[in-house]
Amino acid sequence: MAGFDPAVFIENLAWMKPELLLAGFGLLLLLASATVPVAIRQVGGWLTLAVLAVAAFLVTAQLSAGSGGTVASTGAFPDIAGNPAFVVDGFAVVFKLIFLLGAAFTVLMSMKYPDTDGEDSAEFLALVVFSVFGMMFLASGTGLITIYIGLETMALAGYLLVGFRVQEKRANEGAVKYFVLGALASGILLYGISLVYGATGSINLYGIAASLAGDDSGAAGFLGLGVVLMLVGIGFKVAAVPFHMWAPDAYEGATTPATSFLATAAKAGAFAMLLRVFVTAFGDRGADWAPLMILLAAASMTVGNIAALRQDNVKRMLAFSSVGHAGYVLMGLIAVGLSGGDAAIRARGLLSVALYLFIYTFATAGAFALVALLRKNGQPGEMLDDFNGLVKRHPVASVCMLLFLLSLAGIPCTAGFIGKWWLFGAAIKVNLVWLAVVAVLNSVVSLYYYARVMVAIFIRDGDGESKIQVPLPLSAAIGAAGLFTLVIGVYPQPFIRLARYAVLMMGA
């Protein structure tokens, strides 16, 4: 049993600089909102963006802070048995960057957006900041209690973001569905954690791995049930089938910046937790949980894409499409699970997940930014018909939307193709060719409903409305997303190098 040393604790705090920055800034936002609310309206968004940028810088700095000059890979805040609860390694760094990216897009979209601008803009920004703060523990946490509290913080802020437009019925419905099902999933997750604790005697991922590596018998039943329940709980957060029911209503009801946050950052957070828990704690038993995940992946891809075919509301369509993308991403995790000690396959699996989530964030955030663009008369422009004739009203945005949709479908020369190449390749490497074929077929299906939007933009005629006034932050968001989507498609090397850091997961 390790003793406790306050000095070590204070030393370990240095590894939490990004988290401390975010928490402190969130508190400042609240205090400012309580005392000088008017100032917040003007500078709140830009200030938040600046803080997110500084946090990203701090996170990236951790990459080179390690002893070997490479990656930190250090364990902090050891518990009684000496296992660390908080770890800074390449995996954590890469995922935190994804979170900050998703949050930055959300903040950009929320500036000058009527539903989130005004006297509650500070609350909106504070909720986004605290949600990202919680997410950071999903990426870095290795003690199940730390991870769970981070998950709850992220989720609670998420529920509130979805229900932010209190006067709007769809927001209420979406928020209630998300909240009730989310709370149920949290309960199931906790029950699974308690069963795993009962089976292994440790609440820390490393302790669980050590206990599993030791014996092969004993409480196998508990363990299996616990793992299944944990998968159910996290599967809900990721919006995988059959736990995806909340996603369409929540995405539709939330304000578009909040929807983008859910689809990009929150999903990445849940995946970070899924990866961390299943690779670190249950990595040895990959052959046991991989079949379940194969089922989830195949179901998510298929149901998500087929359901999206019939949607006329672009936000709901993107919600179902994100369910499908969750299925694709699960293939990377399956590859890690079935790698069976082959480091190359494991690396490919982790890399492909991180890379795809980056690419997916750009494309999805961009698509939602386009939806935010189409607001008119106080109503969100989320129906397919609102996209009619967009090419005449705003050609640049139309081309960007084309890029985003092609990237989501995985057409060559866009970033999405690169991401899918890596993911599907990982599945093929573990002899799951049939799964890769299902994924390709689903990508073709998805092309159909993405094409409906493209047809509306480029071929159909609109109502003859005049040019749209685009706020600067929104155009910055669309431009940046479009640029990256194109660039990664033709020159993916730097991003692949970045995603490769995700392979460096401590102790696994």
> Applying CB under 8 A, which residues contact another protein?
1, 4, 6, 9, 23, 26-27, 30-31, 33-35, 77-81, 85-86, 120, 123, 126-127, 130, 133-134, 137, 143, 145-146, 148-150, 152-153, 156-157, 159-160, 163-164, 166-167, 197-202, 211, 218-222, 225
The C-alpha atoms of residue 24 and residue 54 are separated, in whole angstroms, by 13
Gap between the Cα atoms of 338 and 324, Å rounded: 21
Lookup: tokens for 321: 């499409």
Q: Could you identify the residue written with the tokens 């964030």?
A: 361
Q: Nearer to another protein by C-beta: 13 or 459? A: 13
Report helix, strand or coil for 456. helix
Nearest approach, Cβ of residue 333 and another protein (Å) = 25
Closest distance to another protein from the beta carbon of 230 (Å): 15
Give the SS3 label for residue 394.
Answer: coil
DSSP 3-state of 66: coil
Strand stretches in 276-396, DSSP E:
none
CA distance 445 to 67: 48
Q: Which is nearer to another protein, 85 or 323 (CB)?
A: 85
Q: Which is nearer to another protein, 9 or 46 (CB)?
A: 9
Q: Which two tokens stand for residue 491?
A: 């020159």
Give how far the C-alpha of residue 507 lies from the chain's centroid of Cα atoms, to the nearest Å.
23
Residue 318 C-beta: closest distance to another protein, Å: 25
DSSP string, 67-128: TTSS---EEEEE-TTS-EEEEE-HHHHHHHHHHHHHHHHHHHHHTT-TTTSSTTHHHHHHHH
Please count the CA atoms within 13 angstroms of the CA of 372 that sit on its side-chain side.
35
Angle formed by the axes of helices 433-458 and 415-429, to 10°? 160
Looking at beta carbons only, is 219 or 306 nearer to another protein? 219
Q: Which is nearer to another protein, 141 or 410 (CB)?
A: 141
Q: How far is the CB of 6 from another protein (least distance, A)?
A: 4
Minimum CB–partner distance for residue 120 and another protein (Å): 6
CB of 197 to another protein, least distance (A): 6
**With the C-alpha atoms ordered 359, 360, 365, 370, is the resulting torsion angle positive or negative?**
positive
- Token pair in block for residue 413: 């020369």
Report, in Å, the least distance between residue 378 CB and another protein: 16
**118 or 291, CB closer to another protein?**
118
Nearer to another protein, 237 or 420 (CB): 237
Smallest distance from another protein to CB 180, Å: 13
Beta bridge partners of 379: 376
Nearest-approach distance from CB 16 to another protein, in angstroms: 8
Q: What does DSSP assign to residue 168? A: -
Q: Which residue has the tokens 């997410």?
A: 135
Query: Which C-beta is closer to another protein: that of 55 or that of 298?
Result: 55
At position 372, the amino acid (one-letter code) is A
Closer to another protein by Cβ: residue 89 or 386: 89
112 φ/ψ angles, rounded to the nearest 5 degrees: 65, 20
Instruction: Report, in Å, the least distance between residue 78 CB and another protein.
Output: 8
26/253 with CB nearer another protein: 26
Instruction: Please report how close the Cβ of residue 20 comes to another protein at its closest, in angstroms.
Output: 10
Q: Which is nearer to another protein, 150 or 482 (CB)?
A: 150
Spatial distance between the Cα atoms of 450 and 474, rounded to a whole number of angstroms: 22
- Contact between 85 and 204 under an 8 Å Cβ cutoff? The reply is yes
Q: Which residues does 209 contact at the CB level (< 8 Å), separation at least 6?
A: 280, 281, 282, 283, 284, 507, 508
Contact partners, residue 279, CB within 8 Å, separation at least 6: 333, 336, 337, 350, 505, 508
Q: How far apart are the first and last CA of the chain?
A: 22
